[in-house]
């Protein structure tokens, strides 16, 4: 260990000191996390390579089939004859403008927009969710040949609400309608129709009633109606609880409307299921969505225990995202719990990160104490820097 160009034959006391240097040992949990992470990365890589190989094979087969078809066509065509293969050959460039040359979309498949065509890519899960919502069959528009009692009652209720606006007792009106309707489905269908057509006041009144009675079956119609900002405001309380996690995330991404996104994010943040928490953590790691996710954490009944489990996640970004959400939501008992974790050196770093993200004065006071502790000041400092200034967690 001697300095190579300084007395290489002598035993340098500095070498003895260097040999006796003692760094903290990595915890078994940390070693396990790294191993898990490596195995995950290796599996991911293997999957990607399999996909690439499959795609390359498919492309090769397609090219071979094309070449074979071309050769067959060249060999069998005679001048003056129109063979079947010409009739089924792909359109030439000059035929591109002819709409009849474009094959129709296969049944069950939605027509793609021009951008999609240009890149020919798989839709992301979120896009698929939105597409499913948008293309689910809305309730059929059945023109009533004669006024039925339900329709009359709905019209009357809508009139009352439209006239009284803010003073109307919407839940009571909705309850009366549900009690007297032959089925909730029928009632929804009528209300959806009324929310689509008519004067603004009446449409709004119908939407308010719809928000009270809507079930999952009405979700595609609710989402379509909610594309209109005025209706969105009244329909949101119904849409949030009816959406599944992927639909919530898709709408949060899609609607460029801060209050609506915030409301949906709160709905997502309050769900105590693994998929919901995974999605929330993904959004909290996205620099565009992070402020929204953190704001929602303050308002939603966050599933703290489930989030605390992520303190041991192999992905450091996910650990810190969970910490940040917990920090934002932390009340005094949670802060005490975090402080105990720090004192016991149990998931110390994410627990400190949670304290850093907290806007509670008690957390700030605790961090001040930590800054005075040997070995912890630099941890606090680096986490403060990371959590507050880095766009990604």
Partner 1 sequence: MDRETFNKLVLDQLPRMQQFAIRLTGDPDVAEEIMQEAMVRATRRRRTFRGESRFSTWLMRIVINAFRDHLAASRHAQSPLPEGLPDPRGDDPSRTAAAADLGDMVARMVSALPPRQREVLVLSAYEQLAPSEIGGVLGITEQNVRTNLHHARQRLRNQLAAYAPEVRP
Alpha-carbon torsion 135, 273, 271, 329, what sign? negative
- For partner 1, which residue of 276, 296, 349, 363 counts as binding (CB under 8 A)? 349
- For partner 1, which residue of 4, 80, 99, 104 counts as binding (CB under 8 A)? 4
If the CB atoms of residues 46 and 176 are measured against partner 1, the closer one turns out to be 46
- For partner 1, which residue of 35, 101, 169, 309 counts as binding (CB under 8 A)? 35
Span of 2-10, 73-81, 287-295, 330-338 interacting with partner 1 by CB under 8 A: 2-10
- Whole-angstrom Cα distance, residue 162 to residue 206? 9
Q: Are 312 and 347 in contact (CB under 8 A)?
A: yes
Q: Total residues contacting partner 1 (rule CB under 8 A)?
A: 48
- Kindly state the smallest distance separating residue 32's Cβ from partner 1, in Å: 11
Look at residues 243, 170, 260, 163 and name the one whose alpha carbon lies nearest to residue 211: 170
**In sequence order, which ranges of 97-144 are alpha helices (DSSP H)?**
114-119, 125-135
Q: Are 69 and 75 in contact (CB under 8 A)?
A: no
Does residue 379 bind partner 1 (CB under 8 A)?
yes
- Kindly state the smallest distance separating residue 346's Cβ from partner 1, in Å: 13
Look at residues 341, 335, 337 and name the one whose alpha carbon lies nearest to residue 365: 335
Does residue 28 bind partner 1 (CB under 8 A)?
no
Does residue 381 bind partner 1 (CB under 8 A)?
yes
Residue 200 sits at φ, ψ, to 5 deg, of -60, -45
Does residue 54 bind partner 1 (CB under 8 A)?
no
Does residue 37 bind partner 1 (CB under 8 A)?
yes
If you count DSSP H runs as helices and E runs as strands, how many of each does the chain have, helices first? 21, 0
Structural tokens at position 285: 């790691």
Structural tokens at position 71: 């050769």
Does residue 9 bind partner 1 (CB under 8 A)?
no
Q: Residues of 360-391 as b/e, b for ≥16 C-beta within 10 angstroms?
A: beebeebbeebeeeeebeebbeebbeebeeee
- For partner 1, which residue of 268, 324, 348, 366 counts as binding (CB under 8 A)? 348
Does residue 64 bind partner 1 (CB under 8 A)?
no
- Whole-angstrom Cα distance, residue 35 to residue 38? 5
> Residues 258 to 317: which contact partner 1 by CB under 8 A?
315-316
If the CB atoms of residues 189 and 348 are measured against partner 1, the closer one turns out to be 348
Q: Are 314 and 322 in contact (CB under 8 A)?
A: no
Structural tokens at position 166: 């803010």
Exposed/middle/buried for 354, CB within 10 Å: 0-12, 13-18, 19+? buried
- For partner 1, which residue of 114, 375, 388, 391 counts as binding (CB under 8 A)? 375
If the CB atoms of residues 31 and 273 are measured against partner 1, the closer one turns out to be 31
- Kindly state the smallest distance separating residue 311's Cβ from partner 1, in Å: 12
Does residue 42 bind partner 1 (CB under 8 A)?
yes
Exposed/middle/buried for 314, CB within 10 Å: 0-12, 13-18, 19+? middle
- For partner 1, which residue of 9, 93, 378, 388 counts as binding (CB under 8 A)? 378
- For partner 1, which residue of 7, 92, 288, 374 counts as binding (CB under 8 A)? 374
- Kindly state the smallest distance separating residue 213's Cβ from partner 1, in Å: 50
If the CB atoms of residues 76 and 382 are measured against partner 1, the closer one turns out to be 382
- Kindly state the smallest distance separating residue 239's Cβ from partner 1, in Å: 38
Does residue 368 bind partner 1 (CB under 8 A)?
no
Look at residues 133, 212, 131 and name the one whose alpha carbon lies nearest to residue 173: 212
If the CB atoms of residues 202 and 386 are measured against partner 1, the closer one turns out to be 386
The residues binding partner 1 (CB under 8 A) are 1, 3-6, 12-15, 17-27, 30-31, 33-35, 37-39, 41-42, 44-46, 49, 315-316, 348-349, 374-375, 377-379, 381-382, 385-386, 390
């Amino acid at each position: 260990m001697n300095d190579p160009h300084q007395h290489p034959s002598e035993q340098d006391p500095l070498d003895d000191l260097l040999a006796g240097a003692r760094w903290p040992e990595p915890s078994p949990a940390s070693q396990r996390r790294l191993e898990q992470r490596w195995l995950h990365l290796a599996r991911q890589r293997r999957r990607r390579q399999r996909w690439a190989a499959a795609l390359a094979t498919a492309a090769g087969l397609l090219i071979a089939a094309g070449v074979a078809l071309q050769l067959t066509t060249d060999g069998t065509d005679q001048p003056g004859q129109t063979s079947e293969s010409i009739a089924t050959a792909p359109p030439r460039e000059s035929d591109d403008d002819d709409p009849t040359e474009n094959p129709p979309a296969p049944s069950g498949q939605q027509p793609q927009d021009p951008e999609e065509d240009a890149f020919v890519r798989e839709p992301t899960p979120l896009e698929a969710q939105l597409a499913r919502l948008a293309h689910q069959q809305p309730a059929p528009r059945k023109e009533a040949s004669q006024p039925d009692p339900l329709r009359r009652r709905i019209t009357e209720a809508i009139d009352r609400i439209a006239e009284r606006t803010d003073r109307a007792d919407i839940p009571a009106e909705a309850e009366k309608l549900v009690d007297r309707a032959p089925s909730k489905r029928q009632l929804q269908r009528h209300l959806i129709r009324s929310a689509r057509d008519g004067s603004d006041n009446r449409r709004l009144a119908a939407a308010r009633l719809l928000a009270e009675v809507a079930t999952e079956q009405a979700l595609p119609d609710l989402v379509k109606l909610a594309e209109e900002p005025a209706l969105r405001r009244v329909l949101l309380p119904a849409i949030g609880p009816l959406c599944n996690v992927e639909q919530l995330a898709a709408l949060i991404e899609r609607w460029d409307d801060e209050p609506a996104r915030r409301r949906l994010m709160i709905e997502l943040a309050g769900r105590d299921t693994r998929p919901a928490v995974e999605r929330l953590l993904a959004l909290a790691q996205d620099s565009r969505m992070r402020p929204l996710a953190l704001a929602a954490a303050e308002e939603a009944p966050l599933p703290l225990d489930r989030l605390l489990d992520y303190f041991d996640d192999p992905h450091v970004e996910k650990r810190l995202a969970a910490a940040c959400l917990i920090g934002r939501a932390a009340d005094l008992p949670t802060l005490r719990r975090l402080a105990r974790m720090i004192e016991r050196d149990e998931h110390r770093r994410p627990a400190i990160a949670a304290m850093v993200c907290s806007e509670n004065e008690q957390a700030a006071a605790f961090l001040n104490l930590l800054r005075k502790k040997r070995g912890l000041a630099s941890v606090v400092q680096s986490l403060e820097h990371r959590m507050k200034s880095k766009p990604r967690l």
